[in-house]
């Protein structure tokens, strides 16, 4: 098969599994598992890897708070791009020939100050709490909290990514078949001040949405979202639920998804496929090699 | 003057002044000052910017510890490359034309497991303590502590940088006149395990030494170390002390410097000049423009 340009977005939950203690050792072990899954597709493809940071950005926020400090979400996002990007570069680097170049790049992403998401925080970050803990934290820290699966979590605004600032360097590196790790955590959230200078924003951008922008901008042949489920299910929660193997933006639009995790993935897949006429895929991290070969996951194709 | 390739190493203490509270706001203000100093030299030169991370890596270690967690120094180093690199990219980006590309790259640096520095920790990180606090922390946490100026600080091993792994991408980006921010904090410390895989190391590499390797590898015409003093003084601590305006490796070798801050800078300057036959400079952050023009700081030239 001809060499392809592939963007793989690694789910934050794939890197730190739900319920696992947020230790560096656990994160590294999960990154190692992800690296093993990705390594087989490195040889014949040009690769861009992005990743989530929901659990990690919340963890670093708590660490700062435990020292009596406030670190804004843009700076925390930058810290997580360092922490997670490093582990991915090192662990994947241990599995591919030394000659293959790697670059992990900090990525600033622009959001609009008037994005309605600022009024409606939806993105869960940090650890799970009980309902009582969450209510207390909301009162003490002014957090917005919301249910997320079996527990409660802090939620922050998640405005739409409008632009990735470092696109030219990313493309130059891809021309040399560099494996580029970027747009971690959806990118470092930034927005323009009225005076025209760029500043950080106290939000977390959805990494699947940002990765769709990234995949479009690098001209990806395939955009893969790797998560902890085998793909997109129709009729989920009913006895008739079935994995969609091949689908289209139109078919996906007719289905309903929870706003939590699968919703943004489906939306990102639709956006990429409609804007580029190329394919997107959603599936399990362990099956990346088969997803890239078109043999697993949910493949979203143009009509 | 012809376009030159310049590596500027920003001192960690220039980014977070001694005695200042380690808040994000203070760091950003100091990065802004550094960006204003660097902006005038961006137009006519290709630029690589590295930076220290001593105060910041210690701060993040304390934040993790306050949450009852241990984050190893390689991961903390990666976090500080994210935090500080982001601020430099954003603040300097606000002062140069939008068209100029920027890339902040995580940088892994190799150290040797048998480096004698592992037996002799010398690199101060984190905040200042009183002698009594330091003694208590040493007992409680197993830290090595040492005097640093007016107080006491935790010290960690600082082995020599042997190799920067991401050199090819850095050079490819420079070919496009990208302003590259990299090797922050002396790079993320890594070393090979007996099985040939790369792992993190619990050390902090001296950023001037790592920047000298970086400057040599990118073929820099000039290697500038920006700090909080006007340059290198001869006869320091005596009534005859005088700023060296132009000097040579041989003249510097004949002088004595404290091992704290100026020692590694002088050593890095000597190494770069002797290995490349090009010039190095040590001087004040505020005077970078004049240092680059050869009008301020201490210029170290080949014999």
Higher-pLDDT residue of A237, A44: A44
Residue B1's pLDDT is: 64
Q: How far is A81 from chain B (nearest CA, A)?
A: 6
| pTM score, whole prediction | 0.95
What digits encode the pLDDT tens for the residues A251-301? 999 987 765 578 889 999 999 999 999 999 999 999 999 999 999 999 999
Q: Are B72 and A24 a contacting pair at CB < 8 A? A: yes
Q: How far is A205 from chain B (nearest CA, A)?
A: 16
Q: Which of A52, A85, A186, A207 is catalytic?
A: A207
Locate the domains of chain B by residue range: 4-113+160-300
Residue B251's pLDDT is: 94
Residue B259's pLDDT is: 53
Q: Which of B77, B185, B207, B283 is catalytic?
A: B207
Q: How far is CA A221 from CA A5, A8, A45, A46, in A?
A: 5, 11, 10, 10
Arithmetic mean of pLDDT, A105-129:
93
Query: Buried (b) or exposed (e) across B203-241, using 16+ Cβ within 10 A?
Result: bbbbbbbbbbbbbbbbebbbbbbbbebbbbbbebeeeee
What digits encode the pLDDT tens for the residues A196-233? 999 999 999 999 999 999 999 999 999 999 998 999 99
Nearest to B83 among A75, A165, A198 (CB): A75
| Spans of chain B below 50 pLDDT | none
- pLDDT band at A1; cut points 50, 70, 90: low
Distance CA(B213)–CA(B275), nearest Å, equals 10
Cβ partners under 8 Å of residue B272, min gap 6: B212, B215, B216, B220, B223, B278, B280
Q: Which residues of B touch A200 (CB under 8 A)?
A: 90
Q: Which stretches within A20-130 are classed as H helix?
A: 24-38, 54-66, 73-93
Neighbours of B51 (CB within 10 A): 29
Q: What is the end-to-end Cα distance of chain A in Å, rounded?
A: 23
Distance CA(B212)–CA(B210), nearest Å, equals 5
- pLDDT band at A126; cut points 50, 70, 90: confident
Note if B30 is an active site residue. Answer: no
Residue B150's pLDDT is: 85
| Paired tokens of B207 | 């950023």
What digits encode the pLDDT tens for the residues A22-58? 889 999 999 999 999 999 999 999 999 999 998 888 8
Residue A258's pLDDT is: 60
- Span A4-113+160-300: which CATH code? 3.40.1160.10
Q: Which residues of B touch A60 (CB under 8 A)?
A: 63, 79
Nearest to A82 among B82, B103, B168 (CB): B82
Nearest to B81 among A82, A165, A178 (CB): A82
What digits encode the pLDDT tens for the residues A51-99? 999 888 888 988 888 888 889 999 999 999 999 999 999 999 999 999 9
Question: Contact A107/A188 with Cβ under 8 angstroms?
Answer: yes
| Paired tokens of A179 | 């494996």
């Amino acid at each position: 098969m001809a060499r392809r340009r592939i963007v793989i977005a690694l789910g934050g939950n794939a890197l730190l599994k739900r319920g696992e203690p947020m230790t560096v050792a656990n994160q590294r072990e999960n990154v190692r598992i992800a690296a093993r899954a990705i390594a087989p597709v490195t040889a014949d493809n040009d690769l861009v890897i992005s990743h989530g940071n929901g659990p990690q950005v919340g963890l670093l926020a708590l660490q700062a708070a435990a020292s009596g400090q406030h670190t804004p979400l843009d700076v925390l996002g930058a810290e997580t791009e360092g922490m997670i990007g490093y582990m991915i570069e090192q662990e994947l680097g241990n599995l591919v020939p030394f000659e293959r170049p790697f670059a992990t790049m900090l990525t600033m992403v622009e959001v609009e100050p008037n994005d309605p998401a600022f009024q409606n925080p939806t993105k869960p970050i940090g650890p799970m709490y009980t309902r009582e803990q969450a209510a207390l934290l909301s009162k003490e820290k002014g957090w917005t909290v919301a249910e997320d699966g079996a527990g409660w979590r802090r939620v922050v605004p998640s405005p739409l990514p409008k632009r990735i600032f470092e696109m030219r360097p990313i493309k130059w590196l891809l021309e040399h078949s560099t494996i580029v790790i970027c747009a971690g955590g959806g990118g470092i959230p930034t927005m323009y001040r009225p005076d025209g200078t760029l500043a950080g924003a106290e939000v977390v951008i959805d990494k699947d949405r940002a990765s769709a922008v990234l995949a479009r901008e690098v001209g990806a042949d395939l955009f893969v979202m790797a998560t902890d489920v085998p793909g997109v299910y129709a009729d989920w929660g009913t006895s008739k639920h079935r994995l969609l193997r091949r689908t289209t933006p139109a078919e996906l639009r007719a289905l309903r998804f929870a706003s939590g995790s699968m919703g943004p993935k489906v939306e990102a897949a639709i956006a990429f496929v409609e804007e580029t006429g190329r394919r997107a895929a959603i599936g399990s991290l362990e099956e990346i090699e088969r997803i890239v070969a078109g043999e697993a996951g949910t493949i979203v194709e143009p009509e």
